[in-house]
């Protein structure tokens, strides 16, 4: 969706599993700026907390997570667009300290306590809160209103997950101009950084290992045209999975040493997870990491030690999966590894030394490209795409063309439960293709079309996206009626399917947004109203606090917003400190 004039600059948001990032194209400087948050950080934790007085988002939420784990929501990206009964969701909720239940349409709902009331939120609502936070960061930095945005998603996000991300943008009040794949955005950042518009083309492999997902893409770059040749990946392989291995290791260590199980203590698990995250980062530059957690469980102080070798042993199967996806991507592109000019590292988890070593060994000692910041590259590329769509940048960037592909085959079920592919995987998008189908019974007056994605020859091995019925078919012998089925996939990777009876002209169609938990217009409208109310309540609460501290003096809007941000951080830090004092003092 193109941006409207007067909506201000367009921004690019990398809505990550663990951290999010926002960037903007600056026409006056002819370059991208990654925007710092109110703490001066270029990335913001994808975390939302609910307290007895207000919401906290980002750093403020993360700072109090250990003392309020059951009301601190993270990893919403792992729930968005999925069913509650999905095996991945069931695996994740066992590790979450907050409660997740089954809602209408098998949609996962997050349960928290907010202002002494039990609230239930869809993952789209939590993601919308993060989008609002990134939007506010951008507006505060730019000093102007912003409305238009490009949001990035993993390559292997399904149609329903992409639609759910667009819904999150709508709930936030943003105009989502486009959804683009994360490695494609990173390739744009690489292309501009390397000045690939000049000279000969390049073939690059983007290796994006983030907090929750792995994306691998092979992309050719020539004269401003970015063509995706193949993709591979896993929407459930990232830094959080690596952290979980470490957490389980230390849970067992605690049990062995102290004969006490901490798995039913959410606060202890949250504190341990935070310590494991810090230890993992330390192991990128050290061969051993140590940490200490006061009164972790049953008033026991815990001292943890892990070597880099043990860390690699715990996660070696995950690391090898990464190289398997690289192999698959090369095979799908029908390329040899010698044809790759650069292997570009993206995502915070790509810093892990063992991951880099395995990649370098796979590519026969080739130096890996580390010239772009792995935490910022995706938002950087999204900002370029946003500016191009909004008509803000110079001609050379405006002419940039991104040709992405479908990660999975799309088709319909035919007799016998077989998959009839209409759009094969790795088809360049946007794309529109059609096929002719007929009836399987005499005098059939209606036809059910079931739409699937996947590579299985049988639909039972693939994902059902949606279904619709074409009625009013004139009775005729089987095989006589003909139906022209059209699959149209947009640049956002949103799929529309239609079927036309070539005899009568009767038509029916579906936009695949509902069968996997997509939100209705009424639900989105209700969530928009709720989001506005939550934001208003937060501002009222902050006004009370600031007024109490600063008397009846007047401040400018900008000064008030600065004070709000500062006070949010102070509140979360105060709560953490009070809890620490209470723990250390053995009570009040």
Tokens 């319909």 correspond to 412
The model's pTM is 0.85
Assign residue 6 a region (left: φ > 0; alpha: ψ between -120 and 50; beta: otherwise). left
Q: In sequence order, which residues have a C-beta less than 8 Å from that of residue 104 and are 6 or more positions away? A: none
pLDDT the model gives residue 567: 54
Measured CA distances, 79 to 76, 110, 159, 263, 564 (Å) = 5, 9, 14, 22, 30
Q: Strand 175-181 vs strand 202-209: parallel, antiparallel, or unpaired?
A: unpaired
Strand ranges in 298-353 using DSSP code E only, listed in sequence order? 300-307, 342-346
Q: Give the separation between CA 139 and CA 161, rounded to whole angstroms.
A: 27
The catalytic position among 182, 404, 515, 541 is 182
Residue 116 annotated to the active site: no
Q: In sequence order, which residues have a C-beta less than 8 Å from that of residue 29 and are 6 or more positions away? A: none
Q: In sequence order, which residues have a C-beta less than 8 Å from that of residue 343 and are 6 or more positions away? A: 204, 205, 207, 359, 363, 366, 368, 369
pLDDT at 558 over 70: no
Q: What is the DSSP letter of 369?
A: B
List the alpha helices (DSSP H) in 446-551. Answer: 521-550
pLDDT tens, residue by residue, 361-410:
999 999 999 999 999 999 999 999 999 998 887 776 777 888 888 888 99
Q: Give the separation between CA 281 and CA 2, rounded to whole angstroms.
A: 40
Average pLDDT score over the chain? 88
Q: For 546-567, b where at least 16 C-beta lie within 10 A, e where not — what string?
A: beeeeeeeeeeeeebbebbbeb
Q: Give the separation between CA 390 and CA 94, rounded to whole angstroms.
A: 43
Ranges 127-131, 179-183, 556-560: which has the least confidence: 556-560
The catalytic position among 14, 38, 215, 453 is 14
Ramachandran angles phi, psi of 328, nearest 5°: -60, -40
pLDDT the model gives residue 4: 52
pLDDT the model gives residue 56: 96
pLDDT tens, residue by residue, 41-72:
999 999 999 999 999 999 999 999 999 999 99
Residue 77 annotated to the active site: yes
**CA contacts within 13 A on the Cβ side of 468:** 15
Q: Which two tokens stand for residue 165?
A: 């991300």
- Which carries the bigger pLDDT value, residue 519 or residue 473? 473
pLDDT tens, residue by residue, 433-470:
999 999 999 999 999 999 998 889 999 988 888 899 99
Tokens 């907010």 correspond to 114
Q: What is the largest distance, in Å, between two alpha-carbon atoms of the chain?
A: 85
Q: Strand 108-114 vs strand 117-122: parallel, antiparallel, or unpaired?
A: antiparallel
Q: Give the separation between CA 276 and CA 298, rounded to whole angstroms.
A: 20
pLDDT at 103 over 80: yes
**Residue 562 banded pLDDT, cuts 50, 70, 90:** low
Q: Which two tokens stand for residue 451?
A: 């739409």
Measured CA distances, 356 to 21, 47, 309 (Å) = 23, 28, 15
Per-residue pLDDT, averaged over 147-155, amounts to 96
The catalytic position among 38, 77, 267, 541 is 77
- Please name each of the domains of the chain with its CATH number: 11-183+377-400+519-542 (3.30.420.40), 239-313 (3.90.640.10), 406-511 (2.60.34.10)
Residue 14 annotated to the active site: yes
pLDDT the model gives residue 581: 34
Q: Strand 148-153 vs strand 175-181: parallel, antiparallel, or unpaired?
A: parallel
- Answer for the pair 512, 495: CB distance below 8 angstroms, yes or no: yes
Residue 404 annotated to the active site: no
The catalytic position among 75, 136, 159, 208 is 208
**Residue 351 banded pLDDT, cuts 50, 70, 90:** very high
Q: Give the separation between CA 370 and CA 190, rounded to whole angstroms.
A: 10
Q: Give the separation between CA 321 and CA 347, rounded to whole angstroms.
A: 16
């Amino acid at each position: 969706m193109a941006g409207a004039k007067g909506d201000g600059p367009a921004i690019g948001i990398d809505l990550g599993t663990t951290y999010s990032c926002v960037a903007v194209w600056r026409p006056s400087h002819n370059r991208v700026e990654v925007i710092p948050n109110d703490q001066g950080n270029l990335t913001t934790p994808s975390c939302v907390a609910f307290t007895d007085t207000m919401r906290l988002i980002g750093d403020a939420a993360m700072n109090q997570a250990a003392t309020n784990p059951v009301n601190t929501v993270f990893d919403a990206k792992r729930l968005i667009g999925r069913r509650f009964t999905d095996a991945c969701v069931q695996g994740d909720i066992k590790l979450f300290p907050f409660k997740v239940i089954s809602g209408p349409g098998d949609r996962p709902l997050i349960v928290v306590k907010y202002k002494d009331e039990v609230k239930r939120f869809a993952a789209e609502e939590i993601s919308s809160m993060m989008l609002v936070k990134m939007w506010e960061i951008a507006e505060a930095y730019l000093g102007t209103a912003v409305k238009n945005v490009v949001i990035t998603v993993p390559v292997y996000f399904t149609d329903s997950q992409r639609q759910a991300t667009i819904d999150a943008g709508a709930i936030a009040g943003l105009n989502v101009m486009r959804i683009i794949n994360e490695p494609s955005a990173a390739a744009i950042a690489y292309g501009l950084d390397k000045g690939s518009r000049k000279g000969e083309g390049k073939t690059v492999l983007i290796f994006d290992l983030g907090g929750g997902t792995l994306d691998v893409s092979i992309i050719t770059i020539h004269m401003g045209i970015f063509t995706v040749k193949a993709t591979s990946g896993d929407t459930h392989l990232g830094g959080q999975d690596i952290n979980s291995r470490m957490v389980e290791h230390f849970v067992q260590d605690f049990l062995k040493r102290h004969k006490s199980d901490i798995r039913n203590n959410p606060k202890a698990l949250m504190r341990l997870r935070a310590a494991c995250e810090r230890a993992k980062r330390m192991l990128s530059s050290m061969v051993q990491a140590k940490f200490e957690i006061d009164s972790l469980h049953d008033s026991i102080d815990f001292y943890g030690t892990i070597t880099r070798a043990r860390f690699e042993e715990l996660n070696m199967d995950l690391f090898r999966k990464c190289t398997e996806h690289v192999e698959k991507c090369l095979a799908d592109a029908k390329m040899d590894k010698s044809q790759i000019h650069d292997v570009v590292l993206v995502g915070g988890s790509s810093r892990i030394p063992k991951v880099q070593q395995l990649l370098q060994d796979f590519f026969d000692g080739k130096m890996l490209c580390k010239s772009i910041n792995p935490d910022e590259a995706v938002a950087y590329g999204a900002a370029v795409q946003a500016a191009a769509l909004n008509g803000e940048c110079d001609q050379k960037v405006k002419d940039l063309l991104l040709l992405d592909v479908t990660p999975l085959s799309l088709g319909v079920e035919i007799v016998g439960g077989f998959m009839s592919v209409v759009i094969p995987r790795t088809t360049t998008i946007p794309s529109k293709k059609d096929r002719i189908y007929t009836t399987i019974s005499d005098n059939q007056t209606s036809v059910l079309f079931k739409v699937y994605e996947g590579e299985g020859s049988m639909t039972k091995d693939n994902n059902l996206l949606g279904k619709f019925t074409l009625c009013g078919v004139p009775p005729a012998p089987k095989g006589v009626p003909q139906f022209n089925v059209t699959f149209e996939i947009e640049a956002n990777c949103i799929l529309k399917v239609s079927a036309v009876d070539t005899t009568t002209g009767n038509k029916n169609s579906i936009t695949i947004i509902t069968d996997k938990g997509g939100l209705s217009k009424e639900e989105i409208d209700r969530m928009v109203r709720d989001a506005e109310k939550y934001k208003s309540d937060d501002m009222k609460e902050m006004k009370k606090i600031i007024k109490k501290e600063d008397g009846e003096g007047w401040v400018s809007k900008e000064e008030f917003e600065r004070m709000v941000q500062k006070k949010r951080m102070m509140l979360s830090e105060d709560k953490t400190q009070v809890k620490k004092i209470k723990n250390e003092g053995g009570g009040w």
